[in-house]
């Protein structure tokens, strides 16, 4: 019985360093995984924040064009139409022109609004 106890004690003494090493490895792996997940959460939060900021800026730019449309007179943009017997001017669709000029002026408006 005493020999078995001594043998068990030897086995335990030999296993302790290995168990400690294994424990430290697992702990380090989990710590590394946790740090990676934390970085990913931070990156995702940053991206979401930028996305929300861009959406808010786009809403402001859209509001400028809506305001511009409401201030333009219907007859501001005219085009000539040719009939068989005469040429006459008709009001052009404001939406057509706003759509046409928007790409050119959207950047300028963003510079004014957001510096």
| 44: three-class secondary structure by DSSP | helix
DSSP assignment letter at 93: P
Domain segments of the chain as ranges? 2-114
Confirm whether pTM is higher than 0.75.
no
Q: What is the pLDDT of residues 55-95, one digit of tens each?
A: 999 999 999 988 888 887 766 677 788 888 888 887 777 88
Using left for φ > 0, alpha for ψ between -120 and 50, and beta otherwise, residue 88 falls in: beta
Q: Report yes or no: 44 and 52 within 8 Å, Cβ to Cβ.
A: no
Q: What is the pLDDT of residues 6-37, one digit of tens each?
A: 999 999 998 999 999 999 999 999 999 999 99
């Amino acid at each position: 019985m005493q020999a078995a106890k001594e043998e068990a004690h030897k086995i335990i003494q030999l296993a302790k360093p290995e168990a400690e090493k294994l424990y430290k490895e697992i702990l380090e792996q989990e710590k590394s995984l946790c740090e990676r997940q934390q970085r990913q959460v931070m990156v995702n939060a940053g991206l979401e924040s930028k996305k929300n900021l861009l959406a808010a800026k786009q809403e402001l730019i859209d509001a400028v064009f809506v305001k511009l449309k409401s201030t333009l007179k219907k007859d501001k943009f005219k085009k000539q139409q040719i009939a068989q017997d005469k040429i006459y001017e008709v009001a052009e669709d404001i939406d057509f022109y706003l759509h046409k000029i928007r790409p050119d002026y959207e950047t300028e408006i963003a510079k004014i609004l957001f510096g």
